[in-house]
Structure 1
Amino acid sequence: MRLPTRSLQHLLTSLLLACLFASPTLQALENTGGVRSLRAADVHPEDYPTVQAMLFMHQRVSRSSAGKLAIQVFPSGLLGDEAPLLRLVQSGELDMNRISAQALDGLSPLTRVLSLPYVFRDSEHQHKVLDGPIGREVLDSLRAYGLIGLAFYDSGTRNLYSSKKPVQRLEDLKDLEIRVQPSDLSMAVFEKLGAKPVKLPFSQTGNALSNGLISAAENNLPSYASTEHYKHAPYYTFSRHTMTPDVLVVSRISWDKLTPTEQALLRTAAAESVPMMRDMWQQREERVEATLRLAGVKFIELPLEQLARFAEAVQPLYAQFTGSPPQQDLIKRIRAVK
């Protein structure tokens, strides 16, 4: 019997986890001296700011617990892509995961608001929203879906990059085959902009660009650089269409097995990791842009009138995807934050 692709991915990832954690070394880490070890995953490489933030958390909780609590971080997509990892966290087979808020769209109605195009004015506005009561409310809403939301991490602004010609105005998107995240909202955004969106896992985007399956993609600058997508798509347009944050989540099943003291240590370490991660992110963006300019990447700044046209084109999606009273109220409160 042939398994469906989704079931096969889950099975393969589960088998990999079982093999990894069956090794004598890792068993010793979990059992010797009563050490409790949490397994965390990320699709990004080890030097990426979100991975560094989780490694920072490991140092904090290990020191604060006198070595009794640890976090094992598995970067570079070792344990799979975001969607199967999220299911593993919900089932308790994986303890922690860094995931895009957009990947949570199908779970929590409130997280979908954070992925709306042009809902945040700039990064300062986003930080004020996420660091305040609104951010805590959204994180707390994940509990009902088997997740404990610990923190929001920066993911920068998502921008367009293309292989054949630069995107300089709204008309340049017409019929452009562009990779988007596996999200109905992402699909709808680029349909409204006139493009032809293609859902693909993050790990398959580079091959799709090099093979000509797609002509464009969209992501933040560090991801664009670390995946070397710029080698296939050298035109990078600052469309700033979304500022979807990343979310650090813990399996509720795993969380309930921790003591109140261990839970408090994790929350404290997560909060301390946020400013460190943001500093790393800003430095990385500046460094990456300078490096890519030297590598020949063409950066395009859209005029204000074109940005306004982009925002106007996607405005109907607010009612289509966030039409419930709680979502509409959240949008109003986000926009009211000064």
Structure 2
Amino acid sequence: MGALLPSPGTLRRLSWLALLLLAPPLAALEVAGGVRLLRAADEQPADYPTVQAVQFMGQSLYRQSGGRLAIQVYSASLLGDEAALVPPTQRGELDLNRVSVQTLEDLCPALRVLSLPFLFRDVEHLGRVLDGPIGAELLQALDGHGLVGLAFFETGGRVIGTVGRPVRRLEDLKGLKIRVESSALAAAIVEAWGARPVRLPFSQTGNALATRLIDGAEGNLLAYAGAEHHRHAPSLALTRHSFAPEVLVISRRSWDRLSTAEQGMLRRAAREARPLVRDIWQQREERVEAMLRLAGVNFVEIPASERARFEAALQPLHERLAGGAGQRRLIARIRALR
């Protein structure tokens, strides 16, 4: 009788665990033997602001704990794309995971409000929301889903890069295949604009643009530049339709293995990292925009009259998502914040 072979799902999980255990560390901290390392994943490259922030947290944690606890960051999708890493994080196979709130909206519907189009006036408005009671409530909403929310990171307004014709008017999106994150809301937004949403892992987006599998991609400016999507999609429509932030989560199982003092250290490090991301992001956006303009990227500003048409097309979506009394109250609190 032949040996029983593991199922394909089991093989994939074993392969993932092997990579987690054997992958070479990136920007490794110089720590003495015996230090406990929390393993963190990010699909963005090593110089991306959120990666730098978690590296900063690792250094802070190392200092606070007297060299007993630190963070090792695996960036550039080394362990996989963020959506695929959510279940391993819930299971405790990965400690920390930086993900877009759009990735978590099905798991934790309360977070969906942060991705609603045209809800935030600008990134400063979003920052005031995240820094206050609403942000704390939304982080707490992750409890019960196998995750603990540590911090939100602002990532600027979302834009649309296209391969062919630039998007200047709502009609220019009609029929285009636009890559979106693994998010029902993101797909519904571009669909309401007449485009065809295509859900793809971020790591596959560049190749899909190069081969014209898709006509464009929706995302933030630094991700667009960092993955060199401008080489294939040189027109950038500055719709700034959403300011969906990113969130750093830790596995509930990993969290429970930390002492109360260590949990406090980690929360302190996360609080300190928030303004760091904000500052790095603002400075990086200015430099990246200048670089992209020199590279020939066509930045398309959307005039107020046309922006109003983009927003009006999404009104039915807003009404559907704001159907519950709790959701409507939350949206009203966000809009009222000055």
One-letter identity of the residue aligned with 1:192: A
Aligned pair partner of 1:18 in 10, 14, 21:
21
One-letter identity of the residue aligned with 1:191: E
Cα-to-partner distance string for 1:213-232 (whole Å, 9 max, x where unaligned): 11111111111111111010
One-letter identity of the residue aligned with 1:13: W
The answer as to 2:50 corresponding to 1:47 is no
For 2:292 and 2:131, the matched residues in 1 are separated by: 31
Shift of 1:323: 2.5
Query: What is the aligned partner in structure 2 of residue 118 from structure 1?
Result: 118
Bigger mean CA offset, 197-206 vs 133-142: 197-206
Query: What is the aligned partner in structure 2 of residue 220 from structure 1?
Result: 220
Shift of 1:9: 5.1
SS of the residue corresponding to residue 94 of structure 2 reads: coil
5 Å-filtered alignment, 1:280-319, equals 280-319=280-319
Contact (CA 8 Å) 1:112, 1:322: kept in 2 or not? no
Shift of 1:20: 4.2
Query: What is the aligned partner in structure 2 of residue 88 from structure 1?
Result: 88
Judged with a 3 Å threshold, the aligned counterparts in structure 2 of structure 1 residues 105 and 305 are, in CA distance, closer, same or farther, namely same
Query: What is the aligned partner in structure 1 of residue 235 from structure 2?
Result: 235
Cα-to-partner distance string for 1:262-319 (whole Å, 9 max, x where unaligned): 0000000000011111110001100000000000001010000111111111121123
For 1:326 and 1:148, the matched residues in 2 are separated by: 22
Q: TM-score, normalised by structure 1?
A: 0.93
For 1:84 and 1:215, the matched residues in 2 are separated by: 24
Shift of 1:134: 0.1
Shift of 1:8: 6.3
Cα-to-partner distance string for 1:162-220 (whole Å, 9 max, x where unaligned): 11111000010111111111111111111100111111111111111110111111111
The answer as to 2:136 corresponding to 1:136 is yes
RMSD: 2.0
Query: What is the aligned partner in structure 2 of residue 154 from structure 1?
Result: 154
Contact (CA 8 Å) 1:108, 1:141: kept in 2 or not? yes
Query: What is the aligned partner in structure 1 of residue 321 from structure 2?
Result: 321
Contact (CA 8 Å) 1:146, 1:253: kept in 2 or not? yes
Contact (CA 8 Å) 1:29, 1:37: kept in 2 or not? no
For 2:302 and 2:235, the matched residues in 1 are separated by: 13
Judged with a 3 Å threshold, the aligned counterparts in structure 2 of structure 1 residues 3 and 208 are, in CA distance, closer, same or farther, namely farther
The answer as to 2:193 corresponding to 1:196 is no
Q: How many equivalent residue pairs?
A: 331
Judged with a 3 Å threshold, the aligned counterparts in structure 2 of structure 1 residues 9 and 288 are, in CA distance, closer, same or farther, namely farther
Query: What is the aligned partner in structure 2 of residue 257 from structure 1?
Result: 257
One-letter identity of the residue aligned with 1:15: A
For 1:264 and 1:216, the matched residues in 2 are separated by: 43
Query: What is the aligned partner in structure 1 of residue 331 from structure 2?
Result: 331
Sequence identity, in percent? 54
Q: TM-score, normalised by structure 2?
A: 0.93
Contact (CA 8 Å) 1:169, 1:306: kept in 2 or not? yes
For 1:330 and 1:181, the matched residues in 2 are separated by: 24
Judged with a 3 Å threshold, the aligned counterparts in structure 2 of structure 1 residues 3 and 316 are, in CA distance, closer, same or farther, namely farther
* Unpaired stretches in structure 1, ≥5 consecutive residues: none
For 1:2 and 1:116, the matched residues in 2 are separated by: 42
Shift of 1:155: 1.5
Shift of 1:14: 2.4
Shift of 1:245: 0.2
